[in-house]
């Protein structure tokens, strides 16, 4: 799973209950691909990762879908923003769906540990397509994913938001996130001032 960062979203007062999380599947792939072609990327740290995803889909769409659920971390190493690679963590992605493709949310973890490697910015990251923002979908997606994270044996999950990304902070706080640290990301991630939150499970 590529490094994901929190997507800016204006949280609506009332979330739409029609949005659900679905497992990546052939029936949703055409709209996922269309979103990539229109410039959306599930990886906000490396937006150009969308081009790599399009190549992978074109080469072998069945394999691409299978790799979206990778609990054994069998897929290729993860490419970081500086071009280096690191071992892949177990994880998976789910897609937001309200009758149309809305975005994705990803979850990764270290087996038997709550902590993540230093290069990994949080257990969970998500990205909503521009034309579906402002509907509370990120808030709902995170809420739907948290019970799944608990089932993996974690006591908590960490999420990171840029210090100036108030909407993302509200998404996390709406799901019980508590601020545990203000820090500056490494140069590789743009040396941004950021906030680390924990959500108890």
Q: What is the CA radius of gyration of the chain?
A: 16
The answer as to whether 30 is a domain residue is: yes
The answer as to whether 5 is a domain residue is: no
H-type alpha helices, the chain: 26-37, 49-59, 61-67, 137-151, 166-174
Q: Determine the pLDDT at residue 94.
A: 98
Candidates 27, 47, 26, 28; CA nearest to 38 is 47
Q: Determine the pLDDT at residue 17.
A: 61
The answer as to whether 4 is a domain residue is: no
Name residue 20's beta-bridge partners. Answer: 97
The number of folded domains in the chain is 1
Q: Determine the pLDDT at residue 189.
A: 72
Q: Determine the pLDDT at residue 8.
A: 39
The answer as to whether 3 is a domain residue is: no
The answer as to whether 108 is a domain residue is: yes
Tokens found for residue 128 = 């909503």
Question: Measuring CA to CA, how many Å separate 37 from each of 40, 78, 91?
Answer: 7, 22, 25
> What sign does the CA torsion over 29, 81, 163, 144 have?
positive
Q: What is the mean pLDDT of each run of 10 residues along the chain (201 residues)?
A: 39 61 98 97 85 96 96 85 86 97 96 90 94 95 96 95 91 97 80 92 96
The answer as to whether 8 is a domain residue is: no
Q: At what angle do helices 166-174 and 137-151 cross, to 10 degrees?
A: 50
* CATH code of the domain containing 129: 3.40.630.30
Q: Determine the pLDDT at residue 1.
A: 37
Domain with 185, as residue range(s), is 20-200
């Amino acid at each position: 799973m590529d490094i994901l960062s929190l997507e800016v979203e204006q949280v609506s007062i009332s979330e739409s209950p029609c949005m659900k999380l679905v497992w990546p599947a052939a029936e949703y792939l055409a709209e996922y691909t269309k979103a990539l072609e229109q410039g959306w990327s599930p990886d906000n740290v490396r937006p150009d990762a969308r081009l790599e995803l399009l190549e992978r889909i074109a080469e072998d769409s069945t394999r691409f879908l299978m790799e979206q659920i990778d609990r054994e971390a069998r897929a290729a190493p993860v490419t970081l923003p500086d071009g280096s690679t690191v071992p892949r963590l177990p994880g998976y992605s789910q897609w937001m769906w309200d009758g149309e493709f809305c975005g994705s949310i990803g979850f990764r973890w270290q087996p038997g540990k709550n902590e993540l490697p230093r290069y990994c910015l949080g257990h969970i990251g998500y990205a909503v397509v521009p034309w579906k923002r402002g509907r509370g979908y990120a808030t709902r997606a995170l809420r739907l994913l948290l019970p799944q994270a608990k089932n993996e044996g974690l006591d908590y999950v960490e999420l990171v938001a840029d210090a100036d990304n108030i909407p993302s902070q509200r998404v996390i706080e709406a799901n019980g996130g508590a601020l545990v640290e203000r820090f500056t990301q490494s140069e590789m991630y743009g040396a941004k001032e950021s906030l680390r939150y924990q959500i108890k499970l």
